Amino acid sequence: MFSSLSDRLTATFRSLRGKGRLSPEDVDTTVREIRRALLEADVALPVVRQFTTAVRERALGEEVSQALNPAQQVVKIVNDELISILGGETRRLRLAKTPPTVIMLAGLQGAGKTTLAGKLARHLRNLNHRPLLVACDLQRPNAVNQLQITGERAGVDVYAPEPGNGVGDPVAVARAGVEHARSQGYDVVVLDTAGRLGIDAEMMQQAADIRTATNPDEILFVLDAMIGQDAVQTAEAFRDGVGFTGVVLTKLDGDARGGAALSVRSVTGQPVMFASTGEKLDDFELFHPDRMASRILDLGDVLTLIEQAERAFDADQAQKMAEKFANDEDFTLEDFMQQLQAVRNMGSIKKMLGMLPGMQQVRQQLEAFDEREFDRIEAMVRSMTPLERRQPRLINGSRRARIAAGCGQSVSAVNDMLERFGQAQKMMRQMRKGLGGGLPGIPGMPGVPGSGGKKQKARAAAAAAKGRKGKSGNPAKRAEQERSAAARDDAARHAATTAAATSAFGLPQQDAEDQVPDLSGLQLPPGFDKFLGGR
């Protein structure tokens, strides 16, 4: 989403790098490029004018002229203004004090209201609510059946007393659905209403009648983000004819421009509350203006990535993996499969990678990434016996040929997968060793082979050679060497004692025993105490 806008803005900011100070001409050129980028992204003209005026005023102000890095300050200004036109802060659903909370969906036909109803119900169910879907779209063919299938996939109940296809009164169904939810203990009701191919009086009147009959707590206007400038006109028509309290943007995954998201908040005055980013029921998220602005400017969206990881990873499996790590057990292919499944549960790998900062610069490589590679890896692992998964070193040539035949891949593909797994297994071993001898793979850390540079290696080699120097055959000289070695050892012990008795701020401790913490009260996994040096 917003790929075209992101590319233009990133290229504009790149031209500002290296400038010690921005002249008025530089600001004008930058604002002109931002205006072109917004217009090409189908942002409404009044919004573009408001945005560029605010950027120019702030860019010519003292905050840039006094800044250490003016180019970065311009990026900050654009980010702040994007957050402002996107709504400023996250708007969440307002729940009724007395259940059920009634949420009415409105919008044109084809905007994705029925699918969105299932996504919203799934989202509410994950938040420990008990939602009920009510089929009020009795006009579109098979709309009721579609909602029933969507509700079954989402794991929520559907109230559909009428078959639809032109039969039944939508207002009566909506009123009866709310009463049914109240009597059966549902705390949220989602009304899926009918739409039209365009704005007409009949659709507006029906939506207004449903609103009057049910008195909804939230009216969400479902807007197709791909219709460009028409999105603003449609939103204004619904605002004047029915009224709504929030906007839901759909099909953001298929829109390369996304100007509707930047326009609808400023034009209608109502916030964007949710965003639909795919066809699956889990491709649904809260709309965070600050995070969306970061995505547009290619600054990443790490917070959303963390939230997805928290939902996808099982806490029990993570605990078992930690205990296995503490017990010095090897990382097996079974563990690898569990981690792979957890990553896949987070959603599209391309979307996750796209949330990392700077990924817009490698979009072509990202688009070329084949997510079916995970299917092939899973097929290879599942073609192995349980013993082979636990002990991959047993997989010889004949076993590899059998695995390749079982998963439909070549032997070289199996070899490549096992080689990559061996590297991951080696990294896990180094991490376990790193608990006592420094961090693996980080230059300059103790216990790391090949770290520290040539001069440091030369000094270490010289010290080792000096320590290995043979003892003299002369008894007097040998006695002198032994006294010198004993003096060096005493000095080393004294330095170690002094360092141990010093806090992190360089202040001496009152009691040396305070330096060793008491870990007896911690609930550590079995075997983990050996990494703590016997404390």
509-533 pLDDT, tens digit per residue, is 444 344 444 545 545 555 545 545 4
Q: Read off the pLDDT of residues 371-388 as tens digits, 9 standing for 90 and up.
A: 777 788 888 988 999 888
Look up tokens 């360089």; give the residue. Answer: 506
Per-residue pLDDT for 20 more than 80? Answer: no
Model confidence at 178, in pLDDT bands (50, 70, 90)? very high
110 is in an annotated binding site: yes
Q: What is the pLDDT of residue 67?
A: 52
Q: Is the pLDDT of residue 302 over 70?
A: no
pLDDT tens profile 420-461 = 888 877 877 776 665 544 434 433 333 333 334 444 445 545
Residue 469: which pLDDT band, with cuts at 50, 70 and 90?
very low
Q: What pLDDT is recorded for position 267?
A: 80
pLDDT digits (tens, 9 = 90+) for 359-368: 666 666 666 6
Express as a percent the part of the chain with pLDDT over 90. 18
Question: Between β-strands 272-276 and 284-286, what pairing exists: parallel, antiparallel or unpaired?
Answer: antiparallel
Q: What is the DSSP string of 254-308?
A: G-SS-HHHHHHHHHH---EEEEE-SSSTT-EEE--HHHHHHHHTT---HHHHHHH
In this prediction, residue 123 has a pLDDT band, given cuts at 50, 70 and 90, of: very high
- How many residues make up the chain in this entry? 535
Q: What is the mean pLDDT of residues 76-96?
A: 86
**What is the per-residue pLDDT for 257?**
61
Contacts 24+ apart (CB under 8 A), 61-70: 64/22, 65/21, 65/22, 70/16, 70/19, 70/20, 70/21, 70/22
What local confidence, expressed as pLDDT, does residue 228 receive?
66
For 151-165, write each residue's pLDDT tens digit.
Answer: 999 999 999 998 888
Band of residue 218 on the pLDDT scale cut at 50, 70, 90: very high
CA dist list (Å): 171 to 319, 496, 516: 52, 82, 72
Percentage of residues of the chain with pLDDT beyond 70: 65
Span of 130-144, 291-305, 480-494 with lowest mean pLDDT: 480-494
Whether residue 42 is annotated as binding a ligand: the answer is no
Q: Is the pLDDT of residue 179 over 80?
A: yes
User: Is the pLDDT at 116 greater than 60, yes or no?
Assistant: yes
Confidence of residue 1 (pLDDT cuts 50, 70, 90): low
Residue 109 assigned to a binding site? yes
Q: Which of 133-137, 458-462, 471-475 has the lowest mean pLDDT?
A: 458-462
Alpha carbon distances (Å) from 455 to 302, 451, 461: 39, 11, 10
Residue 121, pLDDT > 60, answer: yes
113 is an annotated ligand-binding site residue: yes
For residue 282, pLDDT beyond 60: yes
Query: What are the two backbone dihedrals, phi and then psi, of residue 532, each rounded to the nearest 5 degrees?
Result: -100, 15
| Average pLDDT for the chain | 75
Give the pLDDT of residue 219.
92
Rounded mean pLDDT, 117-130: 92
Q: Is 196 annotated as belonging to a binding site?
A: yes
Q: Which residue has the higher pLDDT, 351 or 272?
A: 272
State the Rg of the chain over Cα: 32
At residue 187 the predicted structure's pLDDT band, cuts being 50, 70 and 90, is very high
pLDDT band at 501 (very low <50, low <70, confident <90, very high): very low
**Alpha-carbon distance 478 to 481, whole Å?**
5
pLDDT greater than 80 at residue 253: no
The amino acid at residue 493 is R
Between residues 137 and 3, the one the model is more confident about: 137
pLDDT band at residue 29 under the 50/70/90 scheme: confident
DSSP per-residue letters across 99-127? SPEEEEEE--TTS-HHHHHHHHHHHHHHT
> pLDDT tens across 226-251, in order?
776 677 778 888 888 888 899 888 88
112 annotated as a binding-site residue: yes
Binding residue per annotation — 251?
yes
* Domains located in the chain, CATH noted: 3-85 (1.20.120.140), 101-296 (3.40.50.300), 308-437 (1.10.260.30)
Q: Which of 123, 119, 122, 166 is nearest to 144 (CA)?
A: 166
277 is in an annotated binding site: no
66 annotated binding-site participant: no
